[in-house]
Amino acid sequence: MPVTDASVYADPAAERLFTGATVITFVRTVVSLALCLYAAVDESLTLLVIGLVVYWVGDMADGGYARLFDCETRIGGTLDIMCDRINCAGFYIGLAWLQPEMVLPVAVYLFNFMVIDMFLSLAFLAWPIRSPNYFYVVDARLYRWNWSKPAKAVNSALFAVLLLVTGWWQVGLVIALALVVLKCISLRWLFQLGLPVPERAERTRTA
């Protein structure tokens, strides 16, 4: 789909809580979290991985639906960012519960993803774009290292797959720390760019 102002910039008239995309977001969040919690109780790594897959597939599905049916909203983008964090926490806390040796890399990764990366991801709200997926119109470098498809794969999927496939907590810790460094550098770029403050709207006084 060609990039146009209509596809990049938010339309205040289109903002609403419930769209097909946000319904998918809510469903995948609840299902994935429930699977991960039950996996911890049942001590089942298989169920935990299924919960992770539901999260990943649902995360791709809600974004794909929003773009296909032209219902991308800033509300939906914000909810997606928040729900990603609860699904991520459900999986990684479950993994640390089942494999206690993973506690340290998981703790570092969650701090990065749920604090530093969350701040970076929500920064799109300071500009009139629909989501971080369009941050390239604000700053191409920040977009390339944080929200391009390769960056998303490295920032999320790579860490989980590496821990599951290898079980090497030491390598996982190195990657988690490297991601912290990358996100801190991105924060520096963001602060250099500056976060614009919306102009204060004067209320119309009526007699």
Q: Which residues contact 45 (CB under 8 A, 6 or more apart)?
A: 39, 98
Q: What is the pLDDT of residue 199?
A: 81
Report the predicted TM-score, pTM, of the whole model to 2 decimal places. Answer: 0.91
d(CA 75, CA 42): 35
pLDDT digits (tens, 9 = 90+) for 69-121: 999 999 999 999 999 999 999 999 999 999 999 999 999 999 999 999 999 99
Instruction: For residues 59 and 83, give the distance between their C-alpha atoms in angstroms, rounded to a whole number.
Output: 9
Q: How confident is the model at residue 7 (pLDDT cuts 50, 70, 90)?
A: confident
Provide CB contacts within 8 A for 48, sequence distance 6+. Answer: 35, 36, 39, 40, 91, 94, 95, 98
What band does 6 get if pLDDT is binned at 50, 70 and 90? confident
Residue 4 pLDDT: 61
Written as six digits, the tokens of 149 are 């498809």
Element spanning 66, H or E = helix 45-68
The Cα–Cα gap between 25 and 19 comes to 10
Q: What is the fold, at CATH topology level, of the domain defined by 5-193?
A: Four Helix Bundle (Hemerythrin (Met), subunit A) (1.20.120)
